[in-house]
Structure 1
Amino acid sequence: MSATSADNNGGAAGAAESPSATTRTLIMRGSRIDSRELFAAEREIIIAHGEDNYRLRLTSQNKLILTK
């Protein structure tokens, strides 16, 4: 199974508006995604959940922080 991710701050609707938006495919094994795939080129990603955006950051100590 795979999941498609649009890397931008506006969610799926913002992908068509942003010229710097990138689409990539992530491999899922069951319900598991390896964090190395999420953070392949960045140390921070935005997760769109309904009307809210959450920021998932990878710290210098290799820990995850999720903030709204």
Structure 2
Amino acid sequence: MATTSGDSIDGAGGRAGNASPAVRNLSMTGNRIDSRELFQSEREIIIAHGEEIYRLRLTSQNKLILTK
């Protein structure tokens, strides 16, 4: 199963200078996504959950931090 991922966060102040968000296909096994696929080119991803925006960051110590 594959899902499409992008940083399109309509009306939420997306990244400056990013005219069109990147679209990637991510592989899923059941309900599992390997974090290496999420962070293959960035150290931070934006998650839109309803009306809320969250940031998932990969630290220099290879830990994950989720902030609202």
Long gaps (5+) in structure 2: none
Q: Distance in 2 between matches of 1:62 and 1:20?
A: 28
Deviations 1:16-55 (A, max 9, x none): xx62311010000110000000001000000000000000
**More strand as a share of residues:** 1
Aligned to 2:64: 64
Q: If the length of structure 2 is used for normalisation, what is the TM-score?
A: 0.83
Q: Provide the identity percentage.
A: 69
Letter in 1 for 2:67: T
CA distance in 2, matches of 1:20, 1:57: 21
Q: Does the residue aligned with 1:7 lie in a helix, a strand or coil?
A: coil
The answer to whether the aligner puts 1:29 opposite 2:34 as a matched pair is no
Aligned residues between the structures: 62
Runs (4+) of structure 1 exceeding 3 A deviation are: none
1:45-67 per-position Cα deviation (integer Å, ceiling 9, x unaligned): 00000000000000000000000
Superposition TM-score, scaled by structure 1 size = 0.83
Q: Which runs of 5+ in 1 are unaligned?
A: none
Q: CA RMSD in A?
A: 1.6
> Could you say which residue in structure 1 is the equivalent of 2:45?
45
Q: d(CA) in 2 for partners of 1:50 and 1:26?
A: 21
